[in-house]
A and B are shown apart, each in its own frame.
Chain A
Amino acid sequence: MFKKLIEESTGKSPWLFHINAGSCNGCDIELVSVLTPRYDAERLGFKLAGSPRHADIVVVTGPVTAQSLPRVLRAISQVPEPRCIVTMGSCPQSGNVFRGSYSIAGPLSKYVHVDVDVAGCAPKPEAVIDGLALATQILQQKRREMK
């Protein structure tokens, strides 16, 4: 009974953990606007978690600087399986305008498996919600595969 409850509820309410890996703050602001009443992803169950241990979906913004890389990887490793990693904006996917800099360790996909890429600089909130919805589907699929 509990398992069924967990399965249903987690599918409906995936918790997000947001990691800023050296972002310019553009994507961070967009993510906040996704979660706050204007776009209100919380009505769909998305909730920003304060700790990676509570999260199902990790949203990474920023080009993954050399300084932030070990912290990012540690935070991601603290997220319990099944987890879904979403990159937000162009930076974590490619480095964007920061590509080639000595201080950039990215792209993120070099270090961890990235499930969903939301492109844009910064992505529109609609696109972010789209990406999170896709992440939820992937999450449920992973959860089924884990059993």
Chain B
Amino acid sequence: MCERVCSGNAITTVVEKTEEGDKVTRTFNLGSCTFCATCMDFCHGAIEFSGDYHMIATKEEDLLVVGTHFRKPPAKKPAPPKPAPAPAPDAEKPAGEAKPEAPAEQAAPAVQPRDDGKPVQDASKCVYCTICAKKCPVGALEVDRAAKTWKLDEDLCVGCGTCAGACPKKCIIM
């Protein structure tokens, strides 16, 4: 989440698979940071500002701050028992949605949020009620109840989250 809200793209995440779970390494590039603290607001207590403003470097690497944590396996275990939604995103693919995400999602069955903060539809839950398309302030969503398609115009979408809030089935993931 912190990575997605970062306005300066200062945060990068690398995930390595280990026995203890996923080793998540986040790198904060202070040379790209606006110090807006939005990441801190969205992260529940794991990101803190040191208050040290003497950030002088002669090499770019000196401005990187790295933190590591382990994502525990129990969080992943509930995921495998429901592979059922996996075919569903495939079914939705012809609708022209979630192009880059779909291959990555095959490992984790639940629909993953996108990197750019735009909505993703969980096709297994969606009833194609078109409420999201009606609520969308910029008209970026196109939902066809009969054809069961859910289409996002990525150029129009501003990532406001109105569709996710309006969805009665909570099938839109931001």
Contact = CB atoms under 8 A, between A and B. Distances in A.
A97 interface: yes
A119 B31 contact: yes
Interface in B8-65: 8-10, 29-35, 53-58, 60, 62-63
Contacts of B34: 90, 96-97, 121
The B interface, classified by DSSP as helix, strand, loop or mixed, is: loop
Residue in A93, A124, A134 with the greatest tally of chain B CB atoms within 10 Å: A93
B53 A99 contact: no
A142 B31 CA distance: 25
A116 B35 contact: no
A118 B57 CA distance: 7
Contact of A127 (B8, B10, B56, B58): B56
Given A116-B57, A123-B55, A93 B31 contact: yes
A25 to B, nearest CB: 15
A9 to B, nearest CB: 25
Nearest to B30: A119
Contact of B56 (A97, A99, A109, A134): A134
The A interface, classified by DSSP as helix, strand, loop or mixed, is: mixed
Nearest to B31: A93
Contact of A120 (B29, B55, B58): B55
Contact of A118 (B9, B33, B35, B56): B56
Given A96-B8, A127-B54, 15 more contacts: A90-B32, A90-B33, A93-B32, A94-B10, A96-B32, A96-B33, A97-B7, A117-B62, A119-B33, A120-B35, A120-B53, A120-B55, A121-B35, A123-B53, A127-B53
